[in-house]
Structure 1
């Protein structure tokens, strides 16, 4: 698996990262056999950057990862977890909770240290708290050797700019904002991150199933015109003998400014398929055709979090 350096850190990450949200039954019920097989297959294929959160499965993802990684040498994988979000409406980014969350994640994961800790979905809270309280508390955890690198994650691009106006970050993770249909992360934010040496991580290459042939989840929020364009693009790919998900993943992986793109599944067959797609060259002609279909709705999305953070 090809690897890229994460900003100014010492981490060389696989261009395809393993997202562990599904391990916490975040989207559907999962079996323990599939959970452990998914982790094993990912590591075998060199997909040894693992992204999780205390939010996923309300801790279940971290717990099951801790079991799956118990006999795996710690220096053979990198792990990123997140803190501050506990359910759909409950957030706590206080300094006290930062210290508690780091210790709880270390315990669940069975680790002596965490490679990356991100403040999870910060668009839902006033950003000044993240700057004045949360990140300084995380820097203390970093100084104590419990965390190697820190950053923030979220959906609106404004949050990354506002945070970097007042403080420094080691890395960030943006989701669903660098895809076949929506490239706001690259258009608006990655140039700033490169200028400041901040590590760039992308998540959600399939944009919550929008860029697949699967049915959209009930909670999907992008406008109907986006959904209609995606169905048209998927049908066009099918006529050309290609799964749109393959094109979507390859599109993300080819961007050399992005250290890693995280895709999640508790199905080991999906992970093997993604690794195979990652090795194949992208069909540039088909990509141009699909981008033309998406042109009328390019960068159209929705709002997340507080209005002032959008």
Structure 2
């Protein structure tokens, strides 16, 4: 496992991070005991960065993760959670007000059984009024940082242009990291256009969804995936090609997203299955087939970087 610093935070994290969304049954139902074991397996095998949100499973992911964390020494991991995006009774809700995000931090700490949060993120800023994020949400989190309740502050979004806008409109040092998903993977390298900006502003980069929410998998994208059919078909062809070569596209995808990119501190994957956790760790620690990367990206061809609707 390789360890990199997130920006200038001092947090040196594993290049493969544990995304806890699966603990909330986001993708399919889970067995709680197996999910807890998946967290333990990740930490025992070198993963030291865990990301979660109250939105995942509408509090379930944080609740299950909290049960796992009580058995892990606090200095063995860095924990990231989020504010702003929630859910209740099966419905998504959003609230980026100063009061709500402040209360949310304390509620998350209670569910997670911790007394501070290493990194607090504003979740999916695209769903908010960006001016509210700048004028109200982030100042509330900075106040918590000054009080030591949280150690570092970040923002997340599918759209990197929103992340850039927010950083440009807040005082330097307000935002310390960004989390962006589906834009540094085999079929999309859009983040390449933003790395210099983030680096110039001392912003650490967390990458997520190396499988592009299922596009880069043998099973293929789920029915709800917002990508256009043409992109789904191109990725399915790439997956079939990898299968013919005896090299699962999932292996190539996670290797590519975790490959030696000095701009990215960690890439998040999610699984509530301990065996899958070990498999992905093995993938990352194995050498990547560079020629296969080239072949796969040729197959995807003109569909590289194709954007889809907000999620």
Cα distance in structure 1, aligned partners of 2:242 and 2:97 = 47
C-alpha displacement of 1:215:
3.7
Cα distance in structure 2, aligned partners of 1:176 and 1:104 = 29
- 1:160 counterpart = 2:163: yes
- 1:259 counterpart = 2:265: yes
Map residues 1-310 of structure 1 onto 2, 5 A cutoff: 1-87=1-87, 89-167=92-170, 168-186=174-192, 188-254=193-259, 255-304=261-310
Cα distance in structure 1, aligned partners of 2:92 and 2:130 = 16
- Pairwise CA RMSD: 1.1
Q: How many corresponding residue pairs?
A: 304
Greater shift, 289-298 or 268-277, is seen at 289-298
Q: Flag as ranges the 4+ runs of structure 1 deviating above 6 A.
A: none
Cα distance in structure 2, aligned partners of 1:12 and 1:66 = 22
Cα distance in structure 2, aligned partners of 1:260 and 1:251 = 12
Cα distance in structure 2, aligned partners of 1:256 and 1:290 = 23
Cα distance in structure 1, aligned partners of 2:115 and 2:213 = 33
Whether the 8 Å contact between 2:120 and 2:154 is mirrored in structure 1 is yes
Task: Give the TM-score normalised by structure 1.
Answer: 0.96
Cα distance in structure 1, aligned partners of 2:297 and 2:228 = 18
Summarize deviations over 1:139-186 as a string: whole Å, max 9, x none: 011011110111110101210111111114100100111110011112
Cα distance in structure 2, aligned partners of 1:230 and 1:271 = 23
C-alpha displacement of 1:300:
0.1
Task: Give the TM-score normalised by structure 2.
Answer: 0.95
For the residue of structure 1 that corresponds to 2:214, the secondary structure is coil
Summarize deviations over 1:31-67 as a string: whole Å, max 9, x none: 1221111011101111121000010111111111111
Gaps of 5+ in 2: none
Whether the 8 Å contact between 2:220 and 2:236 is mirrored in structure 1 is no
Whether the 8 Å contact between 2:40 and 2:72 is mirrored in structure 1 is no
Whether the 8 Å contact between 1:229 and 1:297 is mirrored in structure 2 is yes
C-alpha displacement of 1:89:
4.1
Cα distance in structure 2, aligned partners of 1:241 and 1:189 = 34
